[in-house]
């Protein structure tokens, strides 16, 4: 029988499994995080993980998906308070700096999923849908702030959202790869680019 999708798993057990995988990644990295480790920590059988998620890769997608949902919801609440374009940019910068500092393994996982998606059609479909959902979510926030007069977008909201994610991904890679380097000038350059894109004075 074909495995059910992770979204059909009951809420409490699903969250325990996802949390267990997150914890395992922080301890052992992605490669060292096995279904055996996750099942023990989540208090469920290894077979249950296989039944609902099918593969480790699909569970990894779910970890990133749920992490993105939490972070996007928080970002949306914070951006709702922005009264100027500079307020908006400040929230984005601080959010990126915090996630890279606090959960570098989860940030790295999102890049690993891209690599996996190049070799696995199922993961590619999941990853594409994840990116689309994030882009649409942030684009809706951008459109709302433009309607409020906070932003003056220099391109359609989804295009601006894509650029913001692209900048964040690039900065995150450099922050993780060169952790001892002062990246402040790079952030300043990125902020200048974003200011032009969102109509900051």
Q: Which tokens is 133 given? A: 């959902």
pLDDT of residue 9: 53
Same domain, 108 and 190: yes
Same domain, 42 and 95: no
CATH number of the domain at 14, please: 1.10.10.60
Which residues 6+ apart lie within 8 Å of 37 measured at CB? Answer: 20, 24, 28
pLDDT of residue 136: 94
Same domain, 167 and 107: yes
What is the CB-side half-sphere exposure of residue 3 using CA atoms within 13 A?
Answer: 17
Same domain, 38 and 3: yes
What's the average model confidence in pLDDT over 34-58?
Answer: 88
Same domain, 152 and 96: yes
Does residue 2 register a pLDDT over 60? no
Same domain, 77 and 162: yes
End-to-end CA distance of the chain: 59
Q: Which tokens is 155 given? A: 């391109």
pLDDT of residue 10: 54
How far apart, in whole angstroms, are the C-alpha atoms of residue 68 and residue 74? Answer: 10
Domain residues for the domain of 118 are 62-198
Q: Which tokens is 152 given? A: 């003056």
∠ CA 13-16-18 to the nearest 5 degrees?
A: 110
What are the φ/ψ torsions at residue 73 (nearest 5 degrees)?
A: -65, -45
pLDDT of residue 107: 87
Same domain, 97 and 1: no
Q: Which tokens is 11 given? A: 């809420």
Does residue 6 register a pLDDT over 80? no
How far apart, in whole angstroms, are the C-alpha atoms of residue 102 and residue 123? Answer: 26
Count CB atoms within 10 A of the CB of residue 93.
17
Place of tokens 């890279």: 100
Same domain, 19 and 77: no
Share of the chain above pLDDT 70, in %: 94
Same domain, 107 and 172: yes
Same domain, 97 and 35: no
Same domain, 101 and 8: no
- Contact call for residues 155 and 197 (beta carbons, < 8 A): yes
Among 106-120, 134-148, 156-170, 173-187, the minimum mean pLDDT is found in 106-120
Q: What is the pTM of this model?
A: 0.82
Q: Which tokens is 174 given? A: 């450099």
Please count the structural domains in the chain: 2
Among 52-66, 144-158, 177-191, the minimum mean pLDDT is found in 52-66
pLDDT in tens, 59-110: 888 888 888 888 888 888 888 889 999 999 999 999 999 999 988 888 888 8
Same domain, 113 and 161: yes
How far apart, in whole angstroms, are the C-alpha atoms of residue 49 and residue 59? Answer: 8
CATH number of the domain at 129, please: 1.10.357.10
């Amino acid at each position: 029988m074909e495995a059910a999708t992770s979204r059909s798993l009951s809420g409490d057990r699903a969250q325990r499994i996802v949390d267990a995988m997150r914890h395992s990644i922080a301890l052992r990295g992605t490669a060292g995080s096995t279904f055996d480790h996750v099942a023990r920590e989540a208090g469920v059988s290894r077979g249950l993980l296989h039944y609902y998620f099918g593969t480790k890769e699909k569970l990894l997608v779910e970890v990133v998906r749920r992490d993105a949902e939490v972070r996007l919801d928080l970002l949306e609440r914070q951006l709702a308070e922005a009264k100027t374009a500079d307020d908006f940019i400040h929230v984005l910068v601080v959010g990126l700096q915090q996630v890279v500092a606090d959960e570098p393994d989860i940030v790295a996982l999102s890049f690993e999923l891209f690599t996996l998606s190049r070799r696995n059609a199922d993961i590619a479909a999941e990853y594409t849908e994840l990116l689309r959902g994030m882009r649409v979510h942030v684009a809706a926030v951008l459109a709302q702030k433009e309607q409020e007069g906070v932003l003056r977008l220099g391109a359609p909201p989804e295009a601006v959202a894509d650029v913001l994610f692209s900048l964040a991904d690039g900065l995150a890679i450099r922050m993780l790869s060169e952790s001892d380097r002062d990246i402040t000038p790079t952030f300043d350059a990125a902020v200048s680019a974003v200011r032009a894109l969102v109509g900051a004075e």
